[in-house]
Amino acid sequence: MNCRIEESVCLPVVGVVLLVVVAHGITVSPPTKAVSAADTLHGDIVLDPYRWLESGTDPEVMQWSDEQERFARGLLDSLPQRAWLIRRLNEVWRYDDRSTPKEVLEGSRIFYWAQRKGEDRWRYVTQADARADTVEILNPNAWPQEETLDLTAPSRDGSLLAFGKAHGGDEDPAVQIMEVASERILPDSLRGWRRGGVSWLPDKSGFFYSANPRAGEVPEGEEFYWHSVYFHRLGRPASEDRKVFWHDTVKEYFHGAGVTEDGQYVLYYRSRFDKNEVYISRVGEEGSPRPIVTGFDAQYGIDVINGKLFIVTDQDAPRRKLFTAPVDAPGRENWKEFLPETQDNLVSFAGIAGKLYVEYSHNATTRIAIYDLEGTYLRDLPLPGLGSASIDGHWSKPTVWVSFSSFTYPKAIFTYDYVTNELRLFHRSPVPVDVDRFTTEQVWYASKDGTRISMFLIHSKSLVLNGDNPVLLTGYGGFNVSQTPYFSGAYVAWIEAGGMVAIPHLRGGGEYGREWHEAGMLERKQNVFDDFIAAAEWLIREGYTTPARLAIEGGSNGGLLVGAAVVQRPDLFRAVLCEVPLLDMLRYHRFGLANIWAEEYGSADDPAQYRYLRAYSPYHNVADGTCYPAMLFVAGENDARVDPVHARKMVARLQAADPEGGPFLLIVQRESGHGGGTTLSRHIEQRADAWGFLMNQIGMKPGGEYQVGSRQSSNPPRSPFQKGGRHSLAERSEV
């Protein structure tokens, strides 16, 4: 078998050592032994020859991982695309910047994050008021490289700050308390692990927080579960922290608590997957909190605004409704509809400066509507264009903060003046890029079953479509997560090298409400893969690209997406980036906290769910003798969500199934978690590895636009969509 005769010479396999001769040199892949292992699942015998790779702390597995990394580094380090990406990303990701100021509830103190061009991490700073000098209170640049600032929670007057240091991206912050004026660290500590969610009492005497149990308090392996709310009294040892909200029998529930802005109530949440229960108590009240909603029949978000409960829910309303109810009589019989369900998805609401601001998603872009507390529509908040916006502020304070960005609009922070109906620029991220060169459009295409799917296309305005353009197709399609526009310096580099980025809104995501999500979960998960494959087919059919010029990328649930797509349609793609993925869908629930995802995927312990999981599980559907595209798998050594076992087993399986193809590379990033490295320098190197690999495989040269292999066009610039009959106005909208 010779998968890519023009680019590789496949030599005979001797034992388990294979020799691959590629365009950039000779590299020997490490040997991987196959060990007899199998499960009998609902009458089927399921072979698992690489199960021995599941033990990440086994010295043999660690040695194997090191050898795989040396193999990968031998291919990646010398790529000219990688070197160029490091230079360019350092240019487009490094600049002086700041976040939206966070005003405290009581007093005038402000907190925010600040970034200096030459530094790797954001600092946390404060001002006594808007006119006072800025004081740096936390500088992670001075910390060890593996430490990150993972949590910040000022008290309501800003005199105290709870902050957490995590280690190597492990999402387990060790929380400390600082006196802000003196910067003195108090001796307080908290119990449990995976701590977070700090919410202070108005009198600063203590706060609520969430944590998992300590090792030894629950059966071994269940430390990932039994998440509970504790109350910490300031100045008291962690051993005295009281557990105040938990569940005795269901280990998968998550619990959280928050004090309302008026300081009178505590709202308690018990969640599992995308449904929850909500309880309430008065601050200082003893005994169990009173239920507002129970039964896990829907998703609820609740706040107290001006003495009234506001409740957003998708119960009987896939795109969500908003209700009100008396705080002291929160039963469903007392709810009154405040805002009905509309065609747009209601994302969130906030009471700010005496008005209600409601964020809607319209075709995956943000619309913010303003109402008074009687439910009267006042107006839409004016935004700079179609993109993603968020809003922040307090009911009791006058400032309305608005943050906005899009694929072609770097993040900007505004204040909104309701009287004049104007946005006033507060800060714009000084990205050193001429964004006027780029454009985004939204197109629609039909999936396998005829469902219409929307997709963003981002590219240079002067890009000439010659039917063979390099395209990066990326997606997610799960957990009700929406793929909305945002500015990406990495996309800038990809486009400057002559590429286009395509982002479809797959079923399973949250762009179009609960029904859209549910159409891509459990036994309907195949719809997500069909939507993604249909996007690739559409891009090829419509003359944007060819399989040889098409790269795909996905992380986490998106890693499952690209893993499934490539084993189902290996002919469609040339290169694959699969980051922190789930790939063994028959055993995923056995690692870490992953059993909580059974609500989204199902579990192979269930005979009916096993059938469809077995049908798409990427690891179990790799076929010997099939030519697979080149693939780079990236995992995080300290990933708190997805165990690196998936990437290890999948690489071993592919190297055995297609020894003359690929290459199939594995990088397990040290001191990294689910979101990559702990410093900007590491993020840049990791992105340069990943995209340098993709660019090399699909023939993109480093440097200026359109330097794309031998296919660089000599035609004069023209409209990028000057190809008769490609789109109708109904199919395309500019973003």
pLDDT single digits (tens) 275-307: 999 999 999 998 899 999 999 999 999 999 999
- Whether 55 and 102 map to the same domain: the answer is no
Predicted confidence band at 271 (pLDDT cuts at 50, 70, 90)? Answer: very high
CATH number at residue 192: 2.130.10.120
**Cα separation values, 343 from 319, 487, 513, Å:** 7, 26, 9
- Whether 63 and 111 map to the same domain: the answer is no
- Yes or no: say if 401 and 101 are a contact pair by the CB < 8 Å rule: yes
pLDDT digits (tens, 9 = 90+) for 55-64: 989 999 999 9
Q: Which two tokens stand for residue 334?
A: 């007392």
* Any domain includes 104: yes
Q: Which residues are catalytic?
A: 556, 674
Task: Please tell me the predicted confidence (pLDDT) of residue 502.
Answer: 98
Predicted confidence band at 731 (pLDDT cuts at 50, 70, 90)? Answer: very low
Average pLDDT, the chain: 90
Predicted confidence band at 386 (pLDDT cuts at 50, 70, 90)? Answer: very high
Per-residue burial over 232-251, b = 16 or more CB atoms within 10 Å of its CB, e = otherwise? bebeeeeeebeebbebeeeb
Span 523-540, average pLDDT: 98
What are residue 418's phi and psi, to 5 degrees? -65, -35
Q: Is the pLDDT of residue 663 over 90?
A: yes
Q: Is the pLDDT of residue 314 over 70?
A: yes
Q: Which of 195, 228, 259 is the last residue of a domain?
A: 259
Predicted confidence band at 676 (pLDDT cuts at 50, 70, 90)? Answer: low
- Whether 208 and 79 map to the same domain: the answer is no
Interaxial angle between packed helices 680-697 and 59-76, expressed in degrees from 0 to 180 and rounded to the nearest 10: 70
Percent of the chain at pLDDT > 90 equals 83
Task: Please tell me the predicted confidence (pLDDT) of residue 669.
Answer: 86
- Our count of domains for the chain comes to 2
* Any domain includes 342: no
Task: Please tell me the predicted confidence (pLDDT) of residue 637.
Answer: 83
Task: Please tell me the predicted confidence (pLDDT) of residue 677.
Answer: 64
pLDDT digits (tens, 9 = 90+) for 95-154: 999 999 999 999 999 999 999 999 999 999 999 999 999 999 999 999 998 899 999 999
Q: Which two tokens stand for residue 221?
A: 């392996």
Predicted confidence band at 705 (pLDDT cuts at 50, 70, 90)? Answer: very low
* Any domain includes 591: yes
Predicted confidence band at 706 (pLDDT cuts at 50, 70, 90)? Answer: very low
- Whether 500 and 643 map to the same domain: the answer is yes
Task: Please tell me the predicted confidence (pLDDT) of residue 715.
Answer: 30
- Yes or no: say if 266 and 254 are a contact pair by the CB < 8 Å rule: no
Q: Which of 259, 280, 302 is the last residue of a domain?
A: 259
- Whether 559 and 503 map to the same domain: the answer is yes
Range of the domain at 567: 9-91+435-710
- Whether 109 and 72 map to the same domain: the answer is no
* Any domain includes 499: yes
Residue 425 half-sphere exposure, CB side, CA atoms within 13 Å?
9
* Any domain includes 384: no
* Any domain includes 1: no
* Any domain includes 462: yes
Task: Please tell me the predicted confidence (pLDDT) of residue 670.
Answer: 80
Residue of higher predicted confidence among 725 and 502: 502
Span 472-491, average pLDDT: 97
- Yes or no: say if 147 and 132 are a contact pair by the CB < 8 Å rule: no
CATH number at residue 641: 3.40.50.1820
How far, in Å, CA of 545 to CA of 559, rounded?
22
- Whether 79 and 181 map to the same domain: the answer is no
Predicted confidence band at 27 (pLDDT cuts at 50, 70, 90)? Answer: low
User: DSSP E strands: which ranges in 586-728?
Assistant: 630-636, 664-669
* Any domain includes 551: yes
Q: Is the pLDDT of residue 340 over 60?
A: yes
- Whether 49 and 143 map to the same domain: the answer is no
Percent of the chain at pLDDT > 70 equals 92
Residue of higher predicted confidence among 718 and 538: 538
Q: Which of 243, 259, 275 is the last residue of a domain?
A: 259
Handedness of CA 645, 692, 76, 651 (dihedral sign): positive
User: DSSP E strands: which ranges in 498-547?
Assistant: 500-504
pLDDT digits (tens, 9 = 90+) for 43-95: 999 999 999 999 989 999 999 999 999 999 999 999 999 999 999 999 999 99
Element (H, E) at 81: helix 80-93
What is the three-class DSSP state of 508? coil
How far, in Å, CA of 554 to CA of 557, rounded?
8
- Whether 155 and 173 map to the same domain: the answer is yes
- Whether 141 and 40 map to the same domain: the answer is no
How far, in Å, CA of 360 to CA of 720, rounded?
31
Predicted confidence band at 28 (pLDDT cuts at 50, 70, 90)? Answer: low
For the entire predicted model, the pTM comes to: 0.91
How far, in Å, CA of 711 to CA of 546, rounded?
12
- Whether 651 and 514 map to the same domain: the answer is yes
- Whether 200 and 251 map to the same domain: the answer is yes
Q: Is the pLDDT of residue 695 over 90?
A: yes
Q: Is the pLDDT of residue 598 over 60?
A: yes
